[in-house]
Structure 1
Amino acid sequence: MKIKFFSLIKFDLKKDEVDYQLSESKTIKEIMKLLDQEFDNYFSRKLLKDEELKSGTIILLNGRNVRHLQGLDTLVENKDEITIFPPSGGG
């Protein structure tokens, strides 16, 4: 499974992607915990509020927004690609 990072995530982590080999299906929420273990809780701090996605956070599973699937309970397989965009501000 490939996870691609964009915008401030890419800048903060100094990585544009990571690859994981899953032994079984996992939810987006479980994937976030896996990422948090590797990146010192970065993803929970930056992308979640009260265990829900912060407004403006975009997580795509194979190009489809997980908000339009099962949200953080969306299942991920080894063949999948996740793309993560942080909430953005501006004016």
Structure 2
Amino acid sequence: MQVKVFANLRVICGGVSVEVHPNGDRAMDVLDKMIEMFPDLKEEIYTEEKKLKPFVHLYINGRNIIHAEDLETRVKETDQLALFPPVAGG
């Protein structure tokens, strides 16, 4: 499945879009596979308790996972995922 990444995550992941083949069907499985592929990603997106950091957002088909089942949200191969890091600016 394709995951679009934004801002500084593009540098870590080497581009705008990452092909991910997770070992499961939850949002957490997708992120875990991405961290396996790009270890520096872990510090950017997860807290020590393995929860998304404040202001890090994962969208599945345009819907933020915090409005679904958070990291337990189910994903399908055809879903569109987008991962946003905290962004500041004005």
- Residue 9 of structure 1 aligns with which residue? 9
| Residue among 43, 46, 64 paired with 1:45 | 43
- Residue 18 of structure 2 aligns with which residue? 18
Deviation at 1:89, TM superposition (A): 3.6
- Residue 72 of structure 2 aligns with which residue? 73
What runs of 5+ residues in structure 2 fail to find an aligned partner?
none
In 2, Cα distance between equivalents of 1:21 and 1:79: 12
Higher RCO, 1 vs 2 (CA within 8 Å, ≥6 residues apart): 1
TM normalised by structure 2 equals 0.85
Deviation at 1:12, TM superposition (A): 3.2
Deviation at 1:26, TM superposition (A): 1.2
TM normalised by structure 1 equals 0.84
Aligned residues of 1:5 and 1:16 also touching (Cα < 8 A): yes
Aligned residues of 1:25 and 1:78 also touching (Cα < 8 A): no
How many pairs were matched up?
Answer: 89
2:25 alignment partner AA: K
**Aligned in 2, Cα 1:37/1:12: closer, same or farther, shift over 3 Å?**
closer
1:26 alignment partner AA: D
Higher strand residue share: 1
1:66 alignment partner AA: I
In 2, Cα distance between equivalents of 1:13 and 1:31: 14
